Structure 1
Amino acid sequence: MTEKKSEDYFAVAPPKRSGWANFKLFLWNGETSEFLGRSASSWAKIFLFYVVLYAFLAAFFAAMLMVFFQTLDLYQPRWQNANGLIGTNPGLGFRPMPSSANVESTLIHFKHGTAGNWKQWTAELEKFLYPYDTVASSGEYFTSCSFDKWPAQGKVCNFDIKLLGTQCTKEELFGYERGRPCIVLKLNRIFGWIPEPYDDPSELPANMPTELKEYIKTKATENKEQLKMIWVSCDGENSADREHIGNVTYTPFRGFPAYYFPYKNVPGYLSPIVALQFQKPEAGVLINIECKVWAKNIIHDRQRRLGSVHFELLMD
């Protein structure tokens, strides 16, 4: 009987190395020609896999983005007026506004006089009005407009900054040094929105200020074309504010001429503006001011600030 030979095999323990030696061996193993635990061919396969994967993802994203842009119009929004989120009630804004550090503030606070601290406000107005400069607002799309001359298709009305007169100008420091500050109002843009002016004095709403009603009636006797306007009224928000606000003048018009609308995203379009000048506001008194715009299709809601804007004026 032949005895079957058996052989015993024992695993050989790996040589003991320090942590640093193991790390260097992980970086490069000369015996197996492996870098970071993988051979050159293994790394090449991984690299090729991720190149193909990310190339496919990039191509897929680009294709989807191209399809998405085919659904958009670069010159007008798809959803407009009542169908859009902005709606049909344009907001009213004012300049100068407080710095971004006080983004929630609507207070215009300054000390008038040669030693006053009004420069930040005049600098903000200069920056805002720069595009309205005649040189900056000239080109092939611009045309001169009036109540008797509306812009042709594809044209926009220019707004010459000289229309603001001689008081609300950077040369006059916008009246801040003399204690007669200027505030600029503008309507927010809504694509395709067309105002419906109160062009008939008999249709003026009951809640419109009496002073503005009389002004509109006077204009009606002069030239009814000038009634094609989005009217503006500004006054103290409360009875105490109205006692201290003083007289307010409006330039170049008592509102926004309708020939600047609708906004159609024509290159170079500039929103019409109205410059308010407070002739003699009470110094040392915080005055709450509310400005409203008036048209048949503008709704007023003080809580939601529809058709109006609020700001405070404090002059030392």
Structure 2
Amino acid sequence: MFKKSDKKGKNISGKHPSLPVPGSSKDPGFTGANENDPKEPPKRSWKRCCNYIYDREKNIFCGRTFKSWFYIIIYSVMYLMFLSTYTLIFLYGSLAVIKYMDDFESIEKIELLTYSSNGVGLSATPTALNELPIIWYRNDPKDYQKYVNALETLLTKRRKREVSNFTELGPCSSSPFGYGSDPCVIIRINKQLNWSAKPLNRNMTENMNLPLQVQNYLKLKKQKLWLHCDGFHSYDKEHIGSIKYYPDPPGFDPEIFPLNKDAQSPLIAVQISNFTLGLSLFIECAVLRDEEVLDLLQNRYAL
């Protein structure tokens, strides 16, 4: 039978309780952690970031030596060169196959400037400086200066390309081009190569339906592609006042068409005066030719 021990507080280790308990360290003299030992303070985040970017002790940059970065950059450049060369070769081969298998026709540069006869129209300067074809300003030089600058730019470019003083444009040949009282608009036929037109036949019975001014132009000896501008609606005609042309009578010489690639379309200035202020006027301009009327130019003017 087991013998019951009568010693209640017997020390199992056989040592005095006041002696320190040995620790788990391999060092036999280590008896445990000392609370009085100094601890190493943690580094701040920005110092660790700077140390990662460049470590002076190990002489590394972003975790790699400069030699390692050099090899990485060289490899990347060579890889991009190979990839670009491969892409160009593949693209060239694909286009060559398409050109060989399909019917391929090259387009001349001259053909890019030609359109159908219905595509010919008129251009007006100054055109609107916004999305809508509206010329609107107050009676202030600063307010209509943008339109004056547009006309100056047009005439300056023309003077550089051709010897002309534009005296035939009258008061519309120099700044401020009538703006402030009687504004001017310069009109020209859009440039299209290989396009030509014949003037109206003065013996046509349909001429009776033309405006009276155009009928008077047909009585002249020299026939041209006559330009005519007027209000679009009866309301516009009532408030448009008078329209003057420079040169007068206004017409484009049909003998200069078709234009070559270096030629410029002639200019005709239209000056509007005695109009009703504060109204939006819809003005329509057209060039009349044999058998049909050239595409209409429609601009709105808030005068």
Matched residue, 2:250: 254
Alignment of 1:182 with 2:184, yes or no, is yes
Report the counterpart of residue 292 of structure 1 in structure 2. 286
User: Percent identical across equivalent pairs?
Assistant: 21
Whole-Å separation in 1 of the counterparts to 2:179 and 2:164: 23
Q: Kindly tell me: are residues 17 and 35 of structure 1, through their superposed partners in 2, closer, same or farther at Cα, counting changes over 3 Å?
A: farther
Aligned equivalents of 1:116, 1:44: Cα separation in 2 = 60
> For 2:290 and 2:83, how far apart are their aligned partners in 1?
53
- Matches of residues 159-174 of structure 1 in structure 2 within 5 Å? 160-164=165-169, 166-170=170-174, 173-174=176-177
The reply to whether residue 198 of structure 1 matches residue 176 of structure 2 is no
Name which of 148, 155, 159 aligns with 1:129.
155
Q: Give the alignment partner of residue 50 of structure 1, picking from 76, 80, 83.
A: 76
SS in 2 for 1:111: coil
TM-superposition CA deviations, 1:147-188 (whole Å, max 9, x none) = xxxxxxxxxxx6541221x332327x43345x3332211233
Q: Structure 1 residue 76 and structure 2 residue 80: aligned?
A: no
What TM-score, normalized to structure 2?
0.64
2:16 corresponding residue in structure 1: none
Question: How many pairs are equivalent?
Answer: 250
Aligned residue for 2:172, secondary structure, equals: coil
Distance in 2 (CA, whole Å) between partners of 1:60 and 1:211 is 71
SS of match in other structure, 1:175: coil
The equivalent residue for 1:218 is 219
The structure-2 alpha-carbon separation of the partners of 1:240 and 1:21, relative to structure 1 and needing over 3 Å to count, comes to closer
Q: TM-score, normalised by structure 1?
A: 0.62
**TM-fit CA distance, 1:311:** 1.9
- Contact 1:195–1:295 (CA<8 Å) still a contact in 2? no
Report the alpha carbon displacement of residue 88 of structure 1 after superposing the two structures with TM: 4.6
User: CA separation in 1, counterparts of 2:183 and 2:52?
Assistant: 74
Quote how far apart the aligned CAs of 1:242 are: 0.8
- Find out whether 1:90 has 2:120 as its counterpart: yes
The separation in 2 between residues aligned to 1:131 and 1:162, in whole angstroms, is: 16
> Any conservation in 2 of the 1:92–1:309 contact (CA below 8 Å)?
no
> Which residue of the partner structure matches residue 39 of structure 1?
65
State how far apart, in whole Å, the 2-side matches of 1:29 and 1:111 are. Answer: 71
Cα RMSD of the aligned pairs, angstroms, is 4.0
SS in 2 for 1:81: coil
The structure whose RCO (Cα within 8 Å, separation 6+) is larger is 1
**Deviations 1:131-161 (CA, angstroms, capped at 9, x unpaired):** 233xx234xxxxxxxxxxxxxxxxxxx6541
Residue 239 of structure 1 corresponds to 234
Q: Which structure has the bigger radius of gyration?
A: 2
Secondary structure of 1:126's match?
helix
Contact 2:187–2:270 at 8 Å: present in 1 too?
Answer: yes
* Structure 1, unaligned runs of 5 or more: 1-14, 139-157, 301-305
Counterpart-to-counterpart distance in 1, 2:50 and 2:302: 72
Q: 1:104 aligns with which of 123, 127, 132?
A: 132
Q: Report what 1:274 is aligned to.
A: 268
Write the letter of the residue equivalent to 1:161.
F
| Aligned match of 2:33 | none
The answer to whether the 8 A contact 2:184-2:271 is kept is yes
Call closer, same or farther: CA 1:313–1:56 in 2, change over 3 Å. same
Offset of residue 47 of structure 1: 0.8
- SS for the counterpart of 2:71 is helix
Find the aligned partners of 1:93 and 1:103 in 2 and give their Cα distance: 16
Moved more, 199-208 or 231-240: 199-208
